[in-house]
Amino acid sequence: MLHGGLIAGRPYIVSGPPGSGKTILAMQFLREGLEGGEHCLFVALEEPPNEVKVNMRAFRWNLDDLEILDANSDIRRFEPTPILEISTETEPIKMRELEERIRKTPDFESHEVTVHSLQQLLKKLFLRRKYHRVVIDSVTALKYFCMREFEETVTMQSFMRFLTEAGVTSILSLELPDSGEAPSEAFLARGEIRLHKLRDESGIKRFISVEKYKGSSHEEFVFPFDITNAGVRVHVGATASPPSGL
Amino acid sequence: MGDRVNTGVEGLDAMLKGGFLPARPYVVSGPTGSGKTILAMHFLLEGLRQGEPCLLVTMDEPPSEIKANMAVLGWSLGRLKILDATPDVRAHKRVRSVIDVGTTMDVRDMEDVNGMRQPSQIHALEVSVHSVQKMIKQEFAQRLEQTSQRYKRIVIDSLTALKMFSMQGEDSRILIQSFMRFLAELEATSLIVAEHLRRDTIETEFFLSRGEIRLHKWLDGNVIRRALSIEKFRGSSFDDRICAMTIGNAGIVVFPNAQAAFRGTSSELRVGESFLESRIIEEVSNLLDSVLRQIDEAHRRQLPVKDIEVAVSRAMVHFQRRHYQKALKAALACDAQIKQRMGELPPPPPPASLPKPPGVGG
């Protein structure tokens, strides 16, 4: 559909409503990189990494070498406690070393993730080693929880700019509401892959479309896809004709 | 895969391939009166049946009402621990000092619940996310100390109430994120009752939850019909159909094999937005289907139909974006065009009840 893949070194958006398969698609993107021996980083902002690990087990992918960065904010405290910025504290860990249980908020301090601290941390990591593929799951969480004192659109733009300058190919997942307009983040990326979730009487039908792709031609049609044991599989018809059986 | 946590709802566990994944927060959503609280009670009752410690945090209804409602179903929830986080009547006189529930409330057994809690004359209880969190935490610690047991199941009924009464403004997203994180760290399987307030924004609890069970309710003629669907379930496969559901003497029963009657026999549709929408979806998809088949046929006959293909893809995009009315219009236009070009009606006639095109110019 993308006529060959994503152009390296640019940020892309994968958008869709909750439960449409964004995280799985992003994981597949990382796994592809791992198989080619690339350094990959998953930044978890929505789910604790231990749950991501359990969830991905069903696919039997070898993600052992995937580095995962836990950027979930701790439980917020109401008493004044020292707040540690994650940029000074957290390090990514390899998937294989990940514990099965959730990280607990420490008693006397809590970690707080802000866009600023995350960006700083990523900068440090990027300096230390070259990452080829990065997934931010999700920018909605980043926007909702980590931008308290920031102007959202401008900050998001600068974050994407930062990713571009770092020279990594990145996928940012974005939650879409059930109906209504797409959030502004979609305009900022170099491309958007949108996942659709539709219901009919026989269950959920999933579709995928390339909404925008700068610097390349792409398929204009909407294609159905499934989530199977092997992950997301797009059914690109043998001919160029769009799928029937909607 | 590890163990699953049964929901106790007949039929639903099968849809979930066994139940929830343990130690994660889930959401049950639906319009008012769709059975959310009953479903949550099933979940707790099942836990009690298996001898697990269970906790209900109520913010909507006072415990005495819940007790009365559940007695109708003949359920004894005697061993259920209940945390009453319903705020008092707001005091409008300034002399009464406001006291956080976190400092005064304690947890009771369901069987000790009698009447309504009477607001005190001298102070009014206020609920905040913080105080609720604190109460739950205290209760967890106490339980662990006294019986060395951990709560296995928690129900929060409802987050919408908490959101509406105890949080304001921008910060609510962060508070909910923090609250969900708090629930996850408790390592109990929690079920959060919530309502979708708006369809055009993404509400925090729905994308942060590890799964969502949605309850549907619509009017078919003068009968209320109910259905249940799983919208999202991380880390597991699931039955993705909308399944019919009833609320009877035994509580909720889901029928995974009898699908919700979207192809209702009576064509008289009076109310029920979701029902109407599903009809439109059905019609549009049938129509698109038949147009696509005709395009294939046209290819075979080597007729030029490139422009219609483009128009169809446009209609499909409308469909994906849920602009069903627009999609219907576009699909009807395509249908008329291709029929005209082929100069005859296609061999397989489209389903019986296609609406007449209102003013299709082609």
| Residues of chain A neighbouring B201 (CB-CB closer than 8 A) | 177, 180
Instruction: Report the complex ipTM.
Output: 0.84
Q: Which residue has the higher pLDDT, B343 or A211?
A: A211
Question: How many domains does chain B fold into?
Answer: 2
Contact A244 B260 (CB under 8 A): no
* B127 three-state secondary structure: coil
| Residues of chain B neighbouring A222 (CB-CB closer than 8 A) | 313, 316-317, 320
Residues B306, B252 within the same domain = no
Q: Indicate which of A147, A199, A219, A241 best probes the interface with B, i.e. most B CBs within 10 Å of its own CB.
A: A199
Give the relative orientation of helices B171-186 and B159-166 as an angle to the nearest 10 degrees. 140
Q: Is the pLDDT of residue A241 over 60?
A: no
Nearest CA in chain A to B287: A246
Q: Is the pLDDT of residue B347 over 70?
A: no
Q: Is the pLDDT of residue B187 over 60?
A: yes
**DSSP code of B32?**
T
Give the relative orientation of helices B159-166 and B129-147 as an angle to the nearest 10 degrees. 130
Look at residue B94 in the predicted model and tell me its pLDDT: 42
Look at residue B353 in the predicted model and tell me its pLDDT: 45
Look at residue A116 in the predicted model and tell me its pLDDT: 85
Torsion angles phi and psi, residue A134, rounded to 5: -130, 135
Nearest CA in chain A to B244: A201
Residues B183, B104 within the same domain = yes
Q: Which residue has the higher pLDDT, B112 or A68?
A: A68
Looking at the partner chain, which of A104, A207, A244 has a beta carbon nearest the beta carbon of B289? A244
- For residue B290, whether the previous peptide bond is cis, meaning omega lies within 30 degrees of 0, is no
Which of A74-78, B145-149, B182-186, B358-362 shows the highest mean pLDDT? B182-186
| Residues of chain B neighbouring A201 (CB-CB closer than 8 A) | 241-242, 259-260, 262-263, 278, 282
The two tokens of residue B230 are 């799983």
| Residues of chain B neighbouring A241 (CB-CB closer than 8 A) | 292, 295-296, 299, 309
What is the overall mean pLDDT for chain B?
77
B243 lies in some domain: yes
Q: Is the pLDDT of residue B271 over 60?
A: no
Print the domain residue range for B98. Answer: 12-259
Q: Give the residue among A225, A218, A220 at the shortest CA–CA distance from A190.
A: A218
The nearest CA of chain A is from the CA of B211 a distance in Å of 8
Look at residue B10 in the predicted model and tell me its pLDDT: 84
Look at residue B126 in the predicted model and tell me its pLDDT: 63
Contact A246 B289 (CB under 8 A): yes
Contact A242 B316 (CB under 8 A): yes
Q: Give the residue among B22, B4, B24 at the shortest CA–CA distance from B14.
A: B4
Look at residue B167 in the predicted model and tell me its pLDDT: 66
Look at residue B124 in the predicted model and tell me its pLDDT: 54
Q: How many residues does this entry show for chain B? A: 362
B296 lies in some domain: yes
CA angle B64, B161, B243 (to 5 degrees): 90
Contact A201 B232 (CB under 8 A): no
Q: Of the candidates B201, B229, B259, which is a domain's last residue?
A: B259
Q: How many CA atoms lie within 13 A of B88 on its CB side?
A: 21
B353 lies in some domain: no
Q: Is the pLDDT of residue B268 over 70?
A: no
Task: Give the β-pairing of B211-220 and B25-29.
Answer: parallel
Look at residue B93 in the predicted model and tell me its pLDDT: 44
Contact A101 B316 (CB under 8 A): no
Indicate the residue type of B351: P
Nearest CA in chain B to A229: B237
State the average pLDDT over residues B162-184.
79
Contact A12, A189 (CB under 8 A): yes
What percent of chain A is modeled with pLDDT above 70? 87
Residues B109, B224 within the same domain = yes
Look at residue A81 in the predicted model and tell me its pLDDT: 54
Strand partners, A111: A84
The nearest CA of chain A is from the CA of B67 a distance in Å of 32
Look at residue B170 in the predicted model and tell me its pLDDT: 54
B148 lies in some domain: yes
Q: Give CATH superfamily name and number for A11-195.
A: P-loop containing nucleotide triphosphate hydrolases (3.40.50.300)
Look at residue B351 in the predicted model and tell me its pLDDT: 46
State the average pLDDT over residues B174-197.
89
Q: Which residue has the higher pLDDT, B89 or B58?
A: B58
The nearest CA of chain A is from the CA of B259 a distance in Å of 7
Look at residue A237 in the predicted model and tell me its pLDDT: 62
Which of A179-193, B41-55, B261-275 shows the highest mean pLDDT? B41-55
Q: Of the candidates B205, B231, B259, which is a domain's last residue?
A: B259
Distance (Å, whole) CA A122 – CA A39? 14
Residues B152, B219 within the same domain = yes
Torsion angles phi and psi, residue B218, rounded to 5: -150, 165
- CB-based contact, B80 to chain A, within 8 Å: no
Look at residue B19 in the predicted model and tell me its pLDDT: 92
Look at residue B283 in the predicted model and tell me its pLDDT: 79
Which of A226-240, B35-49, B235-249, B305-319 shows the highest mean pLDDT? B35-49
Q: Is the pLDDT of residue A218 over 50?
A: yes
Q: Where residue B305 falls among pLDDT bands split at 50, 70, 90? A: confident
- CB-based contact, B262 to chain A, within 8 Å: yes
Q: The dihedral of CA B11, A19, A42, A232: what is its sign?
A: positive
Indicate the residue type of B337: Q
Residues B242, B325 within the same domain = no
| Residues of chain B neighbouring A184 (CB-CB closer than 8 A) | none
Q: Is the pLDDT of residue B212 over 90?
A: yes
B357 lies in some domain: no
pLDDT digits (tens, 9 = 90+) for A19-39: 888 999 999 999 999 999 999
CA angle A168, A174, A175 (to 5 degrees): 165
Q: Indicate which of B181, B286, B288, B305 best probes the interface with A, i.e. most A CBs within 10 Å of its own CB.
A: B181
State the average pLDDT over residues B222-246.
88
Residue B83: give its domain's CATH number.
3.40.50.300
Residues B57, B150 within the same domain = yes
Contact B234 A58 (CB under 8 A): no
B295 lies in some domain: yes
Residues B233, B286 within the same domain = no
Q: Is the pLDDT of residue A80 over 70?
A: no
Look at residue B119 in the predicted model and tell me its pLDDT: 57
Residues B316, B184 within the same domain = no
Contact B256, B241 (CB under 8 A): yes
Distance (Å, whole) CA B21 – CA B300? 51
Strand partners, A40: A133
Contact B188, B23 (CB under 8 A): yes
Look at residue A115 in the predicted model and tell me its pLDDT: 87
- CB-based contact, B100 to chain A, within 8 Å: no
Contact A178 B199 (CB under 8 A): yes
B351 lies in some domain: no
Residue A40 makes CB contacts below 8 A (sequence gap 6+) with A30, A33, A34, A65, A66, A67, A131, A132, A133, A134, A135
Look at residue B103 in the predicted model and tell me its pLDDT: 47
Looking at the partner chain, which of A54, A140, A178 has a beta carbon nearest the beta carbon of B235? A54
Look at residue B355 in the predicted model and tell me its pLDDT: 47
| Residues of chain A neighbouring B288 (CB-CB closer than 8 A) | 246
Q: Is the pLDDT of residue B155 over 90?
A: yes
Residues B82, B185 within the same domain = yes
Q: Where residue B266 falls among pLDDT bands split at 50, 70, 90? A: very low
Residues B226, B318 within the same domain = no
Please provide the DSSP assignment of A58-122 as one string.
Answer: TTT---TT-EEEE----PPPSS--PEEEHHHH---EEGGG--SSPPPPPSS-EEE--HHHHHHHH
Residues B243, B319 within the same domain = no
Residues B281, B191 within the same domain = no
SS3 for B176-220 is HHHHHHHHHHHCCEEEEEECCCCCCCCCHHHHHCCEEEEEEEEEE
Q: Is the pLDDT of residue B203 over 70?
A: yes
Contact A246 B178 (CB under 8 A): no
* B73 three-state secondary structure: coil
Strand partners, A110: A83
